[in-house]
Chain A
């Protein structure tokens, strides 16, 4: 049998339930760094491939970036609860990464690589992943990033090979590095705000 409770106690309990549920649902993961990392990885691969004339430039850089991302993801998620939302977003990016990896390896191995199509394929896939994440998170900035990737994919089909390369470089800078830095700043601000609002013990 429970003790007699006051209306204030009832309100406190409702507030406790609400605040605890929102604690659980809070976005606890930070992913801005991975956008910057992949932006830099693309630049390294392009520079290495162009100036070093190496066939290993793309596979090596992409595999190294994937390993660093995997390790970073493990550290980011360590001691944080898994949410359905986090798993859904993660699934999109993992599937996108694998599909690009398999296709790029196949295109390179088959010798059918054509720069317009190759870049449009990468840009289109990145557009899809960003727009899907943006729709799930209801985040217009990321939807805008996805649309920018799609615009780059469309433009790559209609311009010269050199121009498609420049479009790809511009898209990487804007959609990976600038967006990644913006995400990191937003995440840091969110963490500061959360730290300022928390501190209550419910035990």
Chain B
């Protein structure tokens, strides 16, 4: 029997998974847009984005547009790879659950 894959704990939480998936569909996104899409609070969102940043899965950039501060996030190549591997692991686990 083949060994079942482990799910990446960094993106296993639903909010982090949602954030990485959102960022996979865009070039870069503002903190406010991520907050609106996930419905998370500022503190919760900031903490989870920091975890993703520490893992090297997202990059954060602060900039000013017309004197207004913007916090932008973009997914990195390791982040994209982690998401791809996570999806593959989920599919394998789901296949194993159906076969069982």
Contact = CB atoms under 8 A, between A and B. Distances in A.
A21 B14 contact: no
Nearest to B40: A203
B24 to A, nearest CB: 5
Q: How large is the interface on B (under 10, 10 to 19, 20 to 34, 35 or more residues)?
A: 35 or more
Dominant SS among interface residues on chain B: helix
Dominant SS among interface residues on chain A: helix
A135 B86 CA distance: 33
A80 B38 contact: no
A13 interface: yes
B60 interface: no
Contact of A2 (B9, B14, B26, B39): B9
B52 to A, nearest CB: 14
B30 interface: yes
Contact of B38 (A81, A84, A201): A201
A27 to B, nearest CB: 12
Interface in B85-100: 86-87, 90-91, 93-94, 97-98
Contact of B24 (A1, A24, A200): A24
Interface in A11-34: 11, 13-14, 16-18, 20-25
B94 A1 contact: no
Interface string A145-176: 00000000000000000000000000000000
